[in-house]
Amino acid sequence: MVKKSLLAAAVLFGLYAFFIGHFRPQLSVSRQQWQDNQIRAEKYLYDNPGARRVLVGSSLSARLDPLPGVYNLALSGQSVLDGLAIVSAAGRPLETVYVEMNVLDRGEDHNFIQGLRNPILDRGRRMFLALRADKQPLSILAEKTQTALTPLVERLTPAAPAGAANPGGTALFAKMLDNQQRLYAAVPPELPANFAALRGYVQALRARGTRVVFYEMPVQAPLCRTAKADAIRAQFARQFPPAAYRYVALPACGDYQTMDGVHLNSESAARYTRYLQAHL
């Protein structure tokens, strides 16, 4: 029974792998944050060998609109160190790397990087599209099922009265902003170690002739001048003097609106994308 099950699974995978590899359907499905990060990393490593300008950052930068000629390797729930580890492992000649400044209290996710660097998995992903994160059959099946059922669910769900507001929206935002203010009130103890790692990556990039540009994502105005934000800026100025490195000036935070204190809403993300593009 076990042998038959294994044989059936192998045959099904073979058929699926042949279909994906031969017909190359435009399927790219992500069902969770980890999978989305894996997809971004894999597309950089396997599908964009010609990318010469790369942006590394956290979930704050992941919300940016596409920047022409720039591959966005911002990873949600992670930091610039993970993106730089991926860039370093790829070993490609790069023109420019844009480095987000906001999240330096978060270290490198070694498990995530080791999974990408695993030589057996790496070879498998290069050979078989079906092994890549965005081509997982169960995720695709779940996505297609949800898409098919959405119209039915919408018909069965009572519509909200016209002009009705979300009564908890303002209170929820205030609670999230208050939580962020508590986090931003303290200087993260991880900064020295993370900046040491960042310096190593930056020096290696510059030694290969790559230009490094630093930029800071705007956050909700009350968070712009806090202990954490100021400590991070001070470390950048100390480790990477503005006289020797290129910085994109931070625009007025009051001109931008976030969803939770730190992540820009769609309109503000589009506005900052235009600003960043004009200053790159």
Mean pLDDT score across all residues of the chain: 85
Question: pLDDT, tens digit, for every residue of 80-135?
Answer: 999 999 999 998 999 999 999 999 999 999 999 999 888 888 888 887 777 777 67
Give 13's pLDDT tier (boundaries 50, 70, 90). very low
Q: Tally Cβ neighbours within 10 Å of residue 158.
A: 5
pLDDT of residue 167: 43
Nearest to 220 by CA among 187, 173, 186, 188: 173
What tokens were used for 28? Answer: 């790219």
Q: Which residues neighbour 251 within 8 Å (Cβ) at sequence distance 6 or greater?
A: 218, 272, 275
pLDDT of residue 33: 81
Q: Give the right CATH number for 29-120+170-279 from 3.40.50, 1.10.10, 1.10.3470, 3.30.1380.
A: 3.40.50
The structure's pTM equals: 0.81
Sign of the torsion formed by the C-alpha atoms of 196, 202, 208 and 209? negative
Q: Is the pLDDT of residue 216 over 80?
A: yes
Q: Is the pLDDT of residue 142 over 70?
A: no
CA dist 201 → 10, 52, 73 (Å): 41, 17, 15
pLDDT of residue 10: 46
State the amino acid at position 271 in one-letter form: R
Domain positions in the chain: 29-120+170-279
